[in-house]
Amino acid sequence: MQRYSIFSLARNALSGHRNWPQAWRSPVPRQEYDVIIIGGGGHGLATAYYLAAEHGVTNVAVLEKGWIGGGNTGRNTSIIRSNYLWDESAAIYEKSLKLYENLTSVLNFNIMLSQRGVMNLAHNEHDLKEMSRRVRAIRGNGVDSEILTPAQIKQLVPALNTSKSRRYPILGASLQRRGGIARHDAVAWGYARGADAFGVDIIQNCDVIGIRRKGGKVSEVETTSGAIKAKKVGVAVAGHASVLAEMAGFRLPVDSHPLQAMVSEPLKPILDCVVMSNTVHVYVSQSDKGELVIGAGIDAFNSYAQRGSWRVIESQMSALVELFPIFSRVRLMRTWGGIVDICPDASPILSKTPVEGLYFNCGWGTGGFKATPGSGWAFAHTIAKDEPHPINSPFSLDRFISGALINEHGAAAVAH
């Protein structure tokens, strides 16, 4: 890790940072790579990193149409947890959480992981019963989860209104103590720097506009910087997955929707746990800078525009104030949106495709930030070995033919 004295920081600030060493190179693309990864979000960059680190595949390029981490990776609310219902999901999300727990030291890059706990509120009898079933299933898979009484909730989050006379009273909650948040940009930057150190080419401002095949096998990608040959191509473009699949000549069972979030002005520390309610549809945490980071469900319409509608903002604000009346005078600072890719069962696709040598990583919907390390790790295996790892084989495309869907709508934490 580079060390900077106060003088070098001041000198570099005055010189417009021109003398700072680059964390990764900006190379001119080669004519051919063993593997091209399309999409320089967390999943694409993690895949490139693990291809090199775990499989010795280093003749790799990551092609990103904008700047790395500028898609959903840099737009999410950074919540990490592994409290999913089904065994298949528990395996991949828990693998991811375990990788997160060591990522700062493995990448030698501070991802600011804060395991402050993720709490899901129950507001009625149905919520309580569903929560109890879920917590048992999660614990059965060896993942930490517990149920809290209203008194325990109040102790952990004093600012919550736990009065019984509320329209949606708080009757209980589940808590994953190992859940929390991490700095999303740092995850992308850490993987980018790590991959670059192995010789992976990270090429920004390079939009893929075509995927060419020869005899049923992928042969090259057409980009705004020219055509580049590749033996294998991995696609990790989140909300644009269907667009890339169409370029390759097949369709995906994926819908693209806007998902928005917002932050308030900075406040003194008041909330040191992530609080989510899937009944009143809002969640909130407090960032290291003091801002409240607030989100809710998707906008119901399909779109590729990275912004949402006023309706969702209005309803999540009223839900927030219902839970935390103390926040009613807090001012919002900004809102933004990303485009999330949702499968019918709210589970991801990490799979080979009908085109030989072409692999897709998508369908993480509203919850793929927490999966970034595990997804990249498993996708790298799938590409290197040309077959899925046991951890991601349940998430292959053929589940939409066999019917072996993994319904995780209830674990999504935000409505979709």
By CB under 6 A, tell whether 360 contacts ligand PYC.
Answer: no
By CB under 6 A, tell whether 72 contacts ligand FAD.
Answer: yes
- For residues 93 and 101, is the Cβ–Cβ distance under 8 A? no
By CB under 6 A, tell whether 236 contacts ligand FAD.
Answer: yes
By CB under 6 A, tell whether 66 contacts ligand FAD.
Answer: yes
The contact mask relative to ligand FAD for 302-341 (x = CB under 6 A, - = no) is ------------------------------------x-x-
- Which residue's Cβ has the minimum distance to ligand PYC? 367
- Of residues 367, 374, 388, 394, which one binds ligand FAD by CB under 6 A? 367
Q: Distance of CA 286 to CAs 161, 182, 278, Å?
A: 17, 12, 19
Which amino acid appears at position 231 of this protein?
K
Residue whose tokens read 């920081």:
9
Binding range to ligand FAD, per CB under 6 A, among 83-91, 131-139, 235-243, 388-396: 235-243
By CB under 6 A, tell whether 363 contacts ligand FAD.
Answer: no
- Of residues 370, 381, 399, 416, which one binds ligand FAD by CB under 6 A? 370
- Of residues 24, 33, 36, 44, which one binds ligand FAD by CB under 6 A? 44
CA 381, chain centre distance (Å): 19
Q: Report helix, strand or coil for 380.
A: helix
By CB under 6 A, tell whether 367 contacts ligand PYC.
Answer: yes
**Cα R_g (the chain), whole angstroms:** 22
Half-sphere exposure in the Cβ direction for 130 (13 Å, CA) = 15
Report the largest interatomic distance among the alpha carbons of the chain, rounded to a whole angstrom: 67
- Of residues 179, 190, 295, 357, which one binds ligand FAD by CB under 6 A? 295
- Of residues 33, 48, 52, 75, which one binds ligand FAD by CB under 6 A? 75
192 binds, among ligand FAD, ligand PYC, none (CB under 5 to 8 A by kind): none
**Which CB, 171 or 248, lies closer to ligand FAD?**
248
Q: Containing H/E element for 232? A: strand 226-235
Question: Angle at Cα 200 formed by Cα 194 and Cα 201, nearest 5°?
Answer: 120
Phi-psi region of 29 (alpha: psi -120 to 50; beta: other; left: phi over 0): beta
State which of positions 396-415 bind ligand PYC (CB under 6 A): 413-414
Q: Strand 291-298 relative to strand 255-266: parallel, antiparallel, unpaired?
A: antiparallel
65 binds, among ligand FAD, ligand PYC, none (CB under 5 to 8 A by kind): ligand FAD
Binding range to ligand FAD, per CB under 6 A, among 133-141, 189-197, 254-262, 381-389: 254-262
Q: Report helix, strand or coil for 75.
A: coil
How far apart are alpha carbons 314 and 311 in whole angstroms? 5
**Which CB, 88 or 201, lies closer to ligand PYC?**
88
Backbone angles phi, psi at 78, to 5 degrees: 65, 25
Q: Distance of CA 64 to CAs 43, 45, 125, Å?
A: 12, 10, 47
Please, what is the minimum distance in Å from the beta carbon of residue 134 to ligand FAD?
17
By CB under 6 A, tell whether 78 contacts ligand PYC.
Answer: no
Backbone angles phi, psi at 156, to 5 degrees: -75, -35
By CB under 6 A, tell whether 374 contacts ligand FAD.
Answer: no
By CB under 6 A, tell whether 176 contacts ligand PYC.
Answer: no
Q: Report helix, strand or coil for 97.
A: helix
38 binds, among ligand PYC, ligand FAD, none (CB under 5 to 8 A by kind): ligand FAD
Residues in Cβ contact with 385 at an 8 Å cutoff, skipping those fewer than 6 apart: 55
- In the complex, the residues that contact ligand PYC under the rule CB under 6 A are 77, 79, 81, 283, 295, 366-367, 370, 413-414
Q: Which residues bind ligand FAD (CB under 6 A)?
A: 38-44, 63-66, 70-73, 75-79, 207-208, 236-238, 240, 259-261, 295, 338, 340, 364, 366-370
